[in-house]
């Protein structure tokens, strides 16, 4: 199973539409997971033309960062999602404190609060900094931002592709949207 990971699209503040390259990179995926700060529902509608979509509620989606748009209620959006796919528990949330920022204990408490216990994979956003890091048994993937990578303007954004099968993580790859051909 191939899952497209995207976060922090900040549309229409960052730009009017998703970068066209997102559609190319996500061609043939089975699910899109958006890790929050969507801002407007039409982004989820656009992504749903590629594959089914679930999204985490970001701080900006609630209007907490002072922008003029607010995400309307949508069944695809929750504070956190827990899905079991290919025998793996995958948690989707906008932000979770990781052991490099706090401690393993705080990380474990956050997993319990958001997902009811440990998960195999966490997909998160918020920082706009892409990365794939393992903390114990949990792989944490942050696809960065498709429109404002590392909070920079006019720089190609990032997304990620997660491949899983039969209870195993096959790959978690960050893709720079300016790069051509995978």
Question: By C-alpha distance, which of 165, 105, 99, 101 is closest to 134?
Answer: 99
Phi and psi for 175 in degrees, rounded to 5?
-125, 125
d(CA 74, CA 90): 21
* Cis amide bond preceding 12, omega within 30: yes
Confidence (pLDDT) at 182: 41
Confidence (pLDDT) at 44: 98
Q: Quote the tokens at residue 22.
A: 């997102």
Confidence (pLDDT) at 24: 96
Q: Which domains does the chain have, with CATH numbers?
A: 2-176 (3.60.21.10)
Profile the chain (182 residues) by mean pLDDT over runs of 10 residues: 97 91 97 96 97 96 73 95 98 96 95 98 97 97 95 90 98 89 45
d(CA 138, CA 48): 28
- Give all strands of the β-sheet with 2-6 in edge-to-edge order: 77-78, 53-56, 31-34, 2-6, 158-165, 168-176
Please list the helix, strand and coil fractions of the chain in percent, rounded to the nearest 5, in that order: 20, 30, 50
d(CA 87, CA 102): 29
108 in Cβ contact with 119 (< 8 Å): no
Q: Are strands 31-34 and 2-6 parallel, antiparallel or unpaired?
A: parallel
């Amino acid at each position: 199973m191939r899952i497209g990971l995207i976060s922090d699209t900040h549309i229409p503040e960052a730009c009017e539409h998703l970068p066209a390259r997102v559609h190319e990179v996500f061609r043939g995926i089975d699910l899109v997971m958006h890790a929050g700060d969507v801002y407007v529902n039409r982004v989820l509608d656009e992504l749903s033309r590629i594959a089914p979509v679930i999204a985490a509620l970001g701080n900006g989606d609630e209007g907490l960062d002072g922008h003029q748009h607010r995400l309307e209620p949508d069944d695809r959006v929750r504070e956190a999602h827990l899905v079991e796919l290919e025998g793996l528990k995958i948690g989707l949330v906008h932000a979770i404190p990781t052991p490099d920022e706090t401690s393993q204990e705080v990380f474990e408490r956050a997993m319990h609060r958001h997902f009811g216990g440990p998960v195999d994979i966490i997909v998160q956003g918020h920082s706009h900094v892409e990365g794939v890091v393992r903390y114990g048994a949990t792989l944490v993937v942050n696809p960065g931002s498709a429109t404002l990578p590392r909070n920079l303007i006019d720089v190609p954004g990032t997304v990620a592709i997660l491949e899983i099968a039969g209870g195993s993580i096959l790959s978690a790859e960050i893709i720079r949207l300016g790069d051509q051909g995978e």
